[in-house]
Amino acid sequence: MTIREFREADWPQVWPILREIARAQDTFAYDPDMSADEAHELWVEPPPGLTVVTVVGDRVLGSAKMGTNREGPGSHVSTASFIVAADARGQGVGTALCRFAIDWARQRGYAGMQFNAVVESNRAAVSVYERLGFRIVGTVPGAFAHPTLGRVGLNIMYKEL
Amino acid sequence: MTIREFREADWPQVWPILREIARAQDTFAYDPDMSADEAHELWVEPPPGLTVVTVVGDRVLGSAKMGTNREGPGSHVSTASFIVAADARGQGVGTALCRFAIDWARQRGYAGMQFNAVVESNRAAVSVYERLGFRIVGTVPGAFAHPTLGRVGLNIMYKEL
């Protein structure tokens, strides 16, 4: 399992992962009907941000994007997002991507990393982030319409670097 | 004092207000060096969002933009931002704009309104929002580099509608 910079040749594997996640509507506040172009714009970060993929041989198991959370006086805080293919979950892919993003942000001198909208019911993600040192700063009540659970909260999470 | 929809003819008055606020770097995490085009893109919301101005005669005293905070499963929550000209502060312009945004969001059926990054030291804004029913959901520590106070927190604020 290797993490390396995203290349355009990875897109035919990254897009279906992202599309499945957007359509499931249970972990990301993304448009479930987004086009491939919109998804590319959303996921592939121009410098100084970075998008990476986790690969085993030629297969993409997951991807992460990372960059600056806000501009100007907020630009010392980073952010990141992570996606893992449905059949590659529970194997530490997300944890490895999150560790990668933390290292990347630390090396670039960011003071912290903020996640703006972690779905409260996505226990797998919340517990990975907590294990890696993030804490829940607050939860916006009912801000995410989960397809089976109804409206659940969106956590804002933060880790100082 | 009237609040009405933004027109392109207002831009020569809105842009200096926005530029002064961005340059001051004490209330918004905006790029202090943004160009007029970038500012226009940032501030003038395409439908279904809305940008309005507060005017007295031909003079623009302030402006607000409002819209959907997140996509897909997050699209039932609105957001808004407000700017007031330096020499028109303390006269209720911000409060009137915030009331307008709340009414707009309620009429459109949004379940709540979220502010993603209210600078903790901006007591005037925080207290206007609290008076209008917003509460601080959480504060990201040190996420805003204030020019004189150093790193202060960014509040996430929320009001159910």
Read off the tokens for A111. Answer: 């003071």
B76, B112, B138: residue with CB nearest A137? B138
A137, A139, A154: residue with CB nearest B74? A154
Residues in chain A within 8 Å Cβ distance of B69:
143
Q: Are B69 and B79 in contact, with CB atoms under 8 Å apart?
A: yes
Q: Given this model, what pLDDT does residue A150 score?
A: 98
pLDDT string in tens for chain B (161-residue length):
899 999 999 999 999 999 999 999 999 999 999 999 999 999 999 999 999 999 999 999 999 999 999 999 999 999 999 999 999 999 999 999 999 999 999 999 999 999 999 999 999 999 999 999 999 999 999 999 999 999 999 999 999 99
Whole-number mean pLDDT of chain B? 98
> What confidence tier does A127 reach under pLDDT thresholds 50, 70, 90?
very high
Interface of A with B in 104-123 (CB under 8 A): 111-112, 114, 116-117
Comparing C-alpha atoms, which of A42, A48, A43, A18 is closest to residue A32?
A18
Residues in chain B within 8 Å Cβ distance of A19:
none
Map tokens 């020019």 to a residue: B147
Q: ∠B151-A111-B125 over CA atoms, to 5°?
A: 35
Residues in chain A within 8 Å Cβ distance of B156:
137-138, 140, 156
A71, A76, A117: residue with CB nearest B70? A117
ipTM metric: 0.96
Q: Given this model, what pLDDT does residue B123 score?
A: 96
For B27-72, write each residue's pLDDT tens digit: 999 999 999 999 999 999 999 999 999 999 999 999 999 999 999 9
Spacing of C-alpha A26 from chain mean position: 14
**In chain A, pLDDT over 70 holds for what percent of residues?**
100
Helix axes B93-107, B123-131, angle to 10 degrees: 40
Q: Are B17 and B63 in contact, with CB atoms under 8 Å apart?
A: yes
Residues in chain B within 8 Å Cβ distance of A77:
140, 143
Read off the tokens for B88. Answer: 């028109």
Q: Given this model, what pLDDT does residue A86 score?
A: 97
